[in-house]
């Protein structure tokens, strides 16, 4: 049976241009989650911020929009409008982002120490809409006690699933994940869990899936950027010539980015991605440093041709 694999929502990285291009060139990914959009009041809805999830511009499907905020009525207003305007029926709420500016405004992982507020959001959505709701979370912001309390409270609500990253917000993305605490979370919740975090190789997946055999799915983020073939390898799909396929993917990505971001924006986006792609191509730290200093898109792409 094929494993349910999700593309993780990485803000500023897995935009629609990346998702569309990735899905054309690589298989194995069954579901896509878009990076977070702000939840907004009905009278202040700004459709321009929704361009990343316009259905006619997205070929990587099924796509689940992710929202961030801290007021129940904003989530309800935004989800209803996205459903009425574009037909979306599944939504995810981000209470896992550990970025300091996000946390400081009591959004993302900054909500986890406030279970009353999270529960109020979930209650408002599940009682006032028929839309499918999931949450993307961590073990807590400062303490796993925050996650334990929240999971107990959420058991009484009809959630689609939970995406859980096995770190605290304070950990950011550093250090070894707290797999023992994650295992405890699995026992506390009645909801399906999608695992997210530190699956960089097929061996990582096999080790973790053996320890956590009841996962409803696996979310790949940084691991898939470091190796775009990772989902195919996990699924046991035929791979072919990796470098030929990666070269075609990269060329197509540049073509997709240019009309959306312009030359300077495309170059900035590619530089962000090459922090990850460098590992797949075997680029040394010195070579990556030299690549990232290039200020001309054509020269940048010419230099990349040497590695793929």
Q: Per-residue confidence of the chain (308 residues) as pLDDT tens digits?
A: 457 999 999 999 999 999 999 999 999 999 999 999 999 988 888 888 899 999 999 999 999 999 999 999 999 999 999 999 999 999 999 999 999 999 999 999 999 999 999 999 999 999 999 999 999 999 999 999 999 999 999 999 999 999 999 999 999 999 999 999 999 999 999 999 999 999 999 999 999 999 999 999 999 999 999 999 999 999 999 999 999 999 999 999 999 999 999 999 999 999 999 999 999 999 999 999 999 999 999 999 999 988 87
- Decide: 82 and 54 in contact? Cβ < 8 Å: no
Domain of residue 281: give its range. 242-304
Q: What's the distance, CA 204 to chain centroid?
A: 18
Q: Give yes or no: residues 69 and 167 share one domain.
A: yes
Give which of 204, 171, 29, 175 is closest to 97, Cα–Cα: 171
Q: Which residues on adjacent β-strands are paired with residue 164?
A: 137, 195
- CA–CA dist 243, 229 (Å, integer): 11
Give which of 146, 113, 116, 119 is closest to 135, Cα–Cα: 119
Q: Give yes or no: residues 278 and 188 share one domain.
A: no
- Among 187, 205, 235, the domain boundary falls at 235
- Decide: 226 and 276 in contact? Cβ < 8 Å: yes
Q: Give yes or no: residues 147 and 220 share one domain.
A: yes
HEC profile for 25-58? HCCCCCEEECCCEECCCHHHCCHHHHHHHCHHHC
Tokens matching residue 204: 């990582």
Q: Give yes or no: residues 128 and 276 share one domain.
A: no
Residues 6+ apart with CB under 8 A from 33: 6, 7, 8, 9, 63, 64, 66, 92, 136, 163, 219
Predicted pLDDT at 2: 54
The dihedral built from the CA positions of residue 233, 203, 63 and 275, taken in this order, carries a sign that is: negative
- Decide: 159 and 134 in contact? Cβ < 8 Å: yes
Phi, psi of 196 (to 5 degrees): -140, 125
Residue with tokens 């993780």: 8
Q: Give yes or no: residues 105 and 230 share one domain.
A: yes
Q: Give yes or no: residues 231 and 251 share one domain.
A: no
Phi, psi of 3 (to 5 degrees): -75, 140
- Among 177, 205, 235, the domain boundary falls at 235
- CA–CA dist 245, 281 (Å, integer): 12
Q: Give yes or no: residues 216 and 263 share one domain.
A: no
Residue 270 to residues 4, 7, 94, 262: CA-CA distances in angstroms? 28, 18, 25, 12
Torsion angle defined by CA atoms of residues 109, 114, 116 and 122, in that order, rounded to the nearest 10 degrees: 0
Look up the CATH number of the domain holding residue 19: 3.20.20.70
Q: Give yes or no: residues 246 and 220 share one domain.
A: no
Q: Give yes or no: residues 154 and 266 share one domain.
A: no
Q: Give yes or no: residues 216 and 249 share one domain.
A: no
Count of domains in the chain?
2
Q: What's the distance, CA 113 to chain centroid?
A: 22
Q: Give yes or no: residues 130 and 224 share one domain.
A: yes
The dihedral built from the CA positions of residue 165, 168, 174 and 177, taken in this order, carries a sign that is: negative
- Among 208, 235, 262, the domain boundary falls at 235
- CA–CA dist 162, 158 (Å, integer): 11
HEC profile for 112-177? CCCHHHHHHHHHHHHHHCCCEEEEEEEEECCCHHHHHHHHHHHCCCCCCCEEEEEEEHHHCCCCCC
């Amino acid at each position: 049976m094929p494993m349910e694999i999700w593309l993780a929502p990485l803000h500023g990285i897995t935009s629609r241009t990346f998702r569309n291009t990735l899905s054309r060139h690589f298989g194995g990914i069954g579901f896509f989650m878009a990076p977070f959009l702000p939840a907004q009041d009905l009278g202040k809805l700004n459709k321009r911020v929704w361009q990343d999830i316009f259905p006619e511009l997205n070929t990587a499907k099924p796509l689940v929009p992710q929202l961030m905020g801290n007021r129940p009525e904003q989530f309800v207003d935004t989800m209803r409008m996205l459903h009425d305007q574009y037909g979306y029926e599944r939504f995810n709420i981000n209470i896992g982002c550990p970025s300091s500016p996000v946390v400081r405004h009591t959004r993302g992982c900054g909500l986890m120490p406030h279970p009353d507020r999270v529960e109020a959001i979930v209650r408002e959505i599940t009682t006032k809409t028929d839309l499918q709701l999931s949450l993307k979370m961590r073990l807590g912001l400062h303490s796993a006690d925050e996650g334990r309390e929240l999971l107990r409270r959420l058991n009484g609500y009809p959630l689609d699933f939970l995406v859980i990253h096995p770190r605290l917000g304070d950990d950011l993305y550093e250090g070894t994940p707290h797999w023992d605490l994650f295992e405890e979370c699995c026992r506390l919740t009645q909801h399906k869990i999608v695992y997210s975090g530190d699956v960089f190789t097929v061996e990582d997946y096999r080790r973790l899936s053996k320890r956590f055999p009841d996962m409803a799915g696996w979310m790949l983020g940084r691991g898939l950027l470091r190796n775009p073939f990772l989902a195919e390898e996990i699924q046991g799909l035929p791979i072919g010539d990796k470098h030929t396929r990666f070269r075609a993917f990269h060329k197509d990505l540049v073509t997709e980015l240019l009309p959306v971001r312009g030359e300077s924006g495309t170059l900035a986006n590619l530089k962000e991605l090459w922090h990850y792609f460098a590992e797949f191509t075997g680029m040394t730290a010195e070579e990556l440093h030299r690549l990232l200093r290039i200020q001309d898109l054509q020269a940048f792409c010419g230099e990349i041709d040497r590695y793929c």
